[in-house]
Structure 1
Amino acid sequence: MLRSQFEEDLLNLHNQFYEMGMMVSDAVSKSVSSYIAHDKQLAKEVIDRDEQVNEHEVKLEKKSFEMIALQQPVTTDLRTIITVMKASSDLERMGDHAVSIAKSTIRVKGTARIDQIEKTISEMSDYVKKMVDNVLIAYVKTDQEDAQVIAKMDKQVNQYYNEIYSNTIKFMQDNPETVVSGADYLNVAQYLERIGDYVTNICEWIVYLATGKITELNSNRQLGELDELSE
């Protein structure tokens, strides 16, 4: 009886994490759409809904601690709970960056815009959202191979950021009227780049869930193992 209840609780943790992830994916997409379209109403929706994301993280953390205290899980079960706690924290931070993009939308006034940069930001956003959606599927499947592939996608995110950075600086130098909007472009691109980093973090937690090893992806350096937690 206790075991079946524990398994049901674990399943609920998985489902709540996935639901939180879909909310964050939606926030990332809508925040950039609002920014490109100058849609302050959509931006406000992203900001307002962030409270739900935060509530999800608090519930997940509380339930995780409760399950560890009451059930004293070992091996894979413990790894699952640790993964949910750590990865949900990464999701929450991704949501915060989406809110920062939405706030940029509300802050921007009638400054000179640069269509070329906005097009690249939109492409970067689509790519980052694809990473977020893919990592959620990899999490559900506990697919460490997919997680490693998704982590490698972060290199393209960094390339987008570098392209936006260099082109924006050039536009700002050539036309001082674009300085205000240009500074915002750099911020938005940086928020998206950080979201890509948090996706990589979740990829690392998926590998840990599958193997019991904490490995730094996008690097040859292994950080060691957490097997002692699972014994």
Structure 2
Amino acid sequence: MRRLFEDELNDLHVRFSEMGMMVNEAIYKSVKAFINHDKQLAHEVIDDDYKINERETDLERKSFELIALQQPVSTDLRIIVTIMKASSDLERMGDHAVSIAKSTIRVKGNTRVPDIEKDIADMAEKVKTMVEEVLDAYVKEDRKRALTIAKEDVAINAYSDNIYDDCIQEMQRDSETVVGSMDYMLVASYLERIGDYVTNICEWIIYLRTGKVVELNSNAKEDDF
């Protein structure tokens, strides 16, 4: 019975990791579509979002089944709770990738600003790296690395602030860039929110290892948990 339970837990881990890769691909494609003005790729992100939603629902259902049938306690229960909570965060990250894709489709011949688009691309690459790192930290249950990754969100917030400021200046300089700049600010805000959800997953990794619910920020220290 215990071996069967462990196999089912391992299956949850695998399916969660696969969901993380799906979400990371959606983020990558959505930003690539936005920067390259590729509406076909943007539609692909939107059309594939149901797969992420289905995976999140499936993980939730299997988690509830394990709780009901196996009545896990202590560490085993923490594993299941972590997967449920973290998969919800991944699903929301996928929603933001869809929002970026919709911004791509909405753009119709607006004047573009290459410098701001480069900053958005750089920001997206940083976010993508954070997602990859947090998934690896989850697999390894590495709470020290989770803390380090959470601190990287400060840089993501800085990107968002800088892009916002640059867009305001650009709109003041050239009224033709107003509509496009509004989309730049929206995309940056979506990426910033994805960074926040990465931090949430870092918090769940720490909960998995310690049983403590923490709120990570730039001032958090390992000794706090």
Q: How does 1:1-231 map to 2 (within 5 A)?
A: 2-218=1-217
Equivalent residue letter for 1:24: V
**Secondary structure of the equivalent of 1:214?**
coil
Who is 1:227 aligned against? none
Partners of 1:184 and 1:133 lie apart in 2 by 26
What is the aligned-residue identity percentage? Answer: 63
Query: Do the aligned partners of 2:151 and 2:218 also contact (CA within 8 Å) in 1?
Result: no
Displacement of 1:131 in angstroms is 0.2
Question: How many residue pairs are counted as aligned between the two chains?
Answer: 221
Equivalent residue letter for 1:85: M
Query: Do the aligned partners of 2:20 and 2:135 also contact (CA within 8 Å) in 1?
Result: yes
Distance 1:219 1:149, change over 3 A: closer
Equivalent residue letter for 2:175: P
**Secondary structure of the equivalent of 2:122?**
helix
Equivalent residue letter for 1:29: Y
**Secondary structure of the equivalent of 1:213?**
coil
Q: Residues 15-53 of structure 1: CA distance to partner in whole angstroms, max 9, x if unpaired?
A: 000000000000001100000000011111111111000
**Secondary structure of the equivalent of 1:215?**
coil
Displacement of 1:132 in angstroms is 0.3
Equivalent residue letter for 1:47: I
Distance 1:133 1:196, change over 3 A: same
**Secondary structure of the equivalent of 1:94?**
helix
Partners of 2:57 and 2:4 lie apart in 1 by 21
| RMSD (Å) for aligned C-alpha atoms | 1.1
Displacement of 1:103 in angstroms is 0.5
Equivalent residue letter for 1:189: A
Partners of 2:97 and 2:83 lie apart in 1 by 21
Equivalent residue letter for 2:38: D
Displacement of 1:221 in angstroms is 7.8
Equivalent residue letter for 1:4: R
Who is 1:229 aligned against? none
Partners of 2:50 and 2:41 lie apart in 1 by 15
Query: Do the aligned partners of 2:131 and 2:198 also contact (CA within 8 Å) in 1?
Result: yes
Query: Do the aligned partners of 2:154 and 2:218 also contact (CA within 8 Å) in 1?
Result: no
Equivalent residue letter for 1:67: L
**Secondary structure of the equivalent of 2:213?**
strand
Partners of 2:219 and 2:26 lie apart in 1 by 32
Which deviates more from structure 2 when the two are superposed, residues 211-220 or residues 164-173?
211-220
| TM-score between both structures, scaled by the size of structure 2 | 0.97
Query: Do the aligned partners of 2:143 and 2:205 also contact (CA within 8 Å) in 1?
Result: yes
- Give the ranges of 4+ consecutive aligned residues of structure 1 lying more than 4 Å apart after TM superposition: 219-222
Structure 1 residue runs without a partner (length 5+):
223-231
Q: Residues 166-202 of structure 1: CA distance to partner in whole angstroms, max 9, x if unpaired?
A: 0110000110000000000000000000000000000
Equivalent residue letter for 1:103: K
Partners of 1:44 and 1:19 lie apart in 2 by 22
Query: Do the aligned partners of 1:215 and 1:221 also contact (CA within 8 Å) in 2?
Result: no
Displacement of 1:215 in angstroms is 0.9
Displacement of 1:220 in angstroms is 5.4
Equivalent residue letter for 1:52: K
